[in-house]
Homo-oligomer: A and B are copies of this chain.
Amino acid sequence: MGNTLGKLFSVTSFGESHGKCVGVVIDGCPAGLQLTVEDIQREVDRRRPRPGTFATTRYEEDRVEILSGVFDEYTTGAPICLLVYNAEAESGVYEEMKNLLRPGHADYTARIKYGGFADYRGGGRFSGRITAGFVMAGAVAKKLLIAIGVEILAHTVEIGGIRAGLKTFPEIRENVNKNHLCTGDPGAVESMLRVIARAREAGDSVGGVVEGIALNVPAGLGEPIFDTLEGEIAKALLAIPAVKGVEFGAGFQSARMFGSENNDPFVLENGRLVTVSNNAGGVLGGISSGMPIVVRVAVKPTPSIARSQDTVNIRDKQPAKLEIKGRHDTCIVPRVVPVVEAMMAIVLCDFALVAGKLPRVLVRQEER
């Protein structure tokens, strides 16, 4: 239960970290989207561990396979099953520590919920590896959005307390793929890498903040009162392991502003209605306003750390010490960047279909 996201564009996730594969089924993708393995592979590759960032040394090739829903390079309107096989799993280390609850992980809650039957190897279903599926689905969603002119871009805005400087959207677009931390501010890279290196040496980890931006989103997306644009985006982002907070526009800062500061005044710009500022993050009343959607997520530090931690052995119910082995990222923030884009894209596609802003067939029959 709970492994399907979306109403008209819906994504069902399956697979485990150390099982056979990680995959998704996308149901509701409009027919007529040109789609190749390369379109998806490109996004999946962005999620792989980056050199020089103290990332995991588990290095999966992650070759995307399209099992259904695409015919003659076009989507058919049928469900699209996509997967990557797991090849590099090393499960031995998990066997050793399977009764030691890893703090900050889902070991305990999964055990309670699934009665001890959950696949514990590599975190099983709760591994960050599951997000490879999110990114595959997001690749399809992003390509659909491009068809209606929507661009999505995420970037690292904070790592281990080091904040990136404010950059314009063109600067972010320009810079984000030029550094392995995926930040829009090249000037912050060195300090960020330093704080990660220091954590690595200490057998520790650091977190950070990722910002997602969607440009040119048509006004009118979102289905309040409950299915707000913010609510569905937040829900989708909180499905990313390690995300513990979500804010839109000025977010928590708006709680400290006066109404006169926080309100975004309306003006006409070349006949188009825009707001002077964007403290609302592009959403008013749960509905997109046409201004950029801006959302930030808090990414907690990787819970897998080499340092010794106190815990409990669940089998004999005794206190225990735990030093986590295995291959872990010291900082997963950069790898969260493409996942944030994917989740935003999935939610926006779903709302665009519901609002009739994305057609059910991309090219009309007569044109073929």
Contact = CB atoms under 8 A, between A and B. Distances in A.
B310 A267 contact: yes
Interface in A273-310: 273, 275-276, 279-281, 283-290, 298-305, 307, 309-310
A228 interface: yes
A220 to B, nearest CB: 4
B220 A113 contact: yes
Contacts of A110: 285, 287
Query: Which bucket holds chain A's interface residue count?
Result: 35 or more
A364 B115 contact: yes
Contacts of A106: 224, 284-287
Nearest to A303: B263
Nearest to A157: B255
A14 B258 contact: no
Interface string A176-191: 0000000000000000
Contact of A305 (B4, B118, B234, B263): B263
Nearest to A81: B14
A212 interface: no
A109 B220 contact: yes
A144 to B, nearest CB: 14
A338 interface: no
Nearest to A265: B310
A27 B3 contact: yes
A53 to B, nearest CB: 16
Nearest to A117: B31
11 contacts: A3-B224, A12-B79, A32-B117, A103-B264, A103-B265, A108-B284, A109-B219, A126-B285, A231-B238, A234-B235, A234-B246
